[in-house]
Amino acid sequence: AAAAAAAAALKDAAAVAKEAAEAKSKAEIEAIKERTNVLLVPPGRIVHLYVMQGVYRAVELPDGDGVAPFIGRIEPYMNMMDDHRTRNYREALHSARLASQLGPALSAHQKPWTPFTAVDVCMSCKHDFTWASTSSSAAQRCLDMHHCHRCGGVFCESCSQHERAMPELAMVAPVRVCDACFFAPSEGTRDPPADFDFIPSAYTD
């Protein structure tokens, strides 16, 4: 009886030790996740920048409880520093401001973008989008399909290698366009607001 009791005690002790080890391992994993997934809380006003058919738009989010938790915090990711450089912010805010100032004129110039699912071949060369790639998989096809920011058509990589700025479409930075739109004359120009250029160039490099 004593031997059986001792064996049971050892078994219970082993189970307790196993549970403790598993709990410690789980805690260590959670600690690693906390260190690698740092969340940054943005101070002050929050302006949400988003893109609609190549044009930046901006909306100021309300403070306090009105901001959804997933918007009120920033989760770091690869290339985050490039996306958040002062120059990129400046161009995005400039574009959003121009879009707001243009108003109905922007809608008159802007062409609706053709959905990828509506075309089978490049709208310029009429070849399959993957003709210049080593793979013809569905994933590669998606990578080789590009929208022209001016006419909204869908083109292959070779037929849309040029970029141009189009202030009349609130696109202040050069964006991808098809060959025909690259060589087409501009539909008008729009100077930046006089009070916008307030960021020293040293902070935009």
CB 189 within 8 A of CB 168: yes
Structure tokens at 66: 């009105």
**Region 105-122: what's the mean pLDDT?**
88
Summarised one tens digit per residue, pLDDT across range 17-41 is 888 888 887 877 676 666 555 555 5
Rg for the chain, CA atoms, rounded: 27
Residue 165 CA to residue 203 CA, distance in Å, equals 22
Looking at mean pLDDT, say which of 86-90, 101-105, 135-139 comes out highest: 101-105
Q: Within 10 A of 9 (CB to CB), how many other CB atoms are there? A: 10
pLDDT score of 82 more than 70: no
Neighbour-count burial of 46, counting CB atoms closer than 10 A to its CB (0-12 exposed, 13-18 middle, 19+ buried): middle
* For the chain, percent of residues with pLDDT exceeding 90: 17
**Region 107-129: what's the mean pLDDT?**
89
The CATH number of the structural domain formed by 46-203 is 3.30.40.10
Residue keyed to tokens 């100032």: 101
User: Mean pLDDT in the chain?
Assistant: 75
Structure tokens at 149: 């920011």
Picking from 103, 108, 102, 112, the residue whose alpha carbon sits closest to that of residue 189 is 102
pLDDT score of 132 more than 80: no
Extents of the domains making up the chain: 1-37, 46-203
